[in-house]
Amino acid sequence: EAGVAQSPRYKIIEKRQSVAFWCNPISGHATLYWYQQILGQGPKLLIQFQNNGVVDDSQLPKDRFSAERLKGVDSTLKIQPAKLEDSAVYLCASSTEAGTGLYEQYFGPGTRLTVT
Amino acid sequence: AQSVSQHNHHVILSEAASLELGCNYSYGGTVNLFWYVQYPGQHLQLLLKYFSGDPLVKGIKGFEAEFIKSKFSFNLRKPSVQWSDTAEYFCAVNAGWGGATNKLIFGTGTLLAVQP
């Protein structure tokens, strides 16, 4: 079974520029997650989708971050404008569903963003 | 708020040594507990998980973890490590199940280096 795909793998931008990340979850997985992992820290959930609806975006900095999951499959995460503190690895994960207590999240390789 | 503490940030062991990585969480209710591993250059993978039942859970590659509810702990163990176990290990907790949001709260990770 193909895993979670993410692109690009690396991105370097200057502060105040915009950037977008793409994620394709495992086929059939209804739930999709975006995490931010800052160097030296564990991943932190930014947003969770169930199909194409948002379940949890409580930790998403909505003044600069946005995410969408059209048609309940692929997802994009955008940052506009970027700040130096946004430098991190952005991880996408998917699971069959949330709420059953028996799910497992499968992670993609991540996109390493450097803001200069 | 839920939190996860991993006491060891860096661990260096020789091959065949025994491993124990500490993990404590703060949440008084029902929890699901996980250990994820990230090998160099690879994505996060699930090592093992605890949902209910036997508090001693076995995972892949000879790893096991014991859930001690009274101590809010879920320590990871392996009797004899190999060079190939060199990786970063993350403990994570998901509080409650049956709800729509099942975000994982991660610890800061432990970097394990196994010397041949």
CB of A33 within 8 Å of a chain B CB? The answer is yes
Q: What's the pLDDT tens digit per position in B78-98?
A: 999 999 999 999 999 986 544
Contact B51 A3 (CB under 8 A): no
Nearest to B31 by CA among B60, B68, B64, B77: B68
d(CA A74, CA B5): 33
In a 10 Å sphere around its CB, with 0-12 CB exposed, 13-18 middle and 19+ buried, how is residue B73 labelled?
A: middle
Q: Which residue has the higher pLDDT, B35 or B29?
A: B35
Residue B78 neighbours by CB distance under 10 Å: 21
pLDDT of B100: 52
> What is the pLDDT at residue B97?
47
- pLDDT tens for chain A, 116 residues: list them: 689 999 999 999 999 999 999 999 999 898 999 999 999 899 999 999 988 899 889 899 999 999 999 888 999 999 999 999 999 999 999 988 655 555 788 999 999 999 99
B100 contacts A55? CB cut-off 8 A? yes
Question: From CA B89, how far away is CA B115, in angstroms rounded?
Answer: 17
Q: A40 CB near a chain B CB, below 8 Å?
A: yes
Considering only CB atoms, B103 lies closest to which of A45, A50, A102, namely: A45
Mutation target vs A (from B43, B88, B89, B106; most A CBs, 10 A cutoff): B43
Greatest alpha-carbon pair distance for chain A in Å reads 42
Say what the pLDDT of residue B101 is: 62
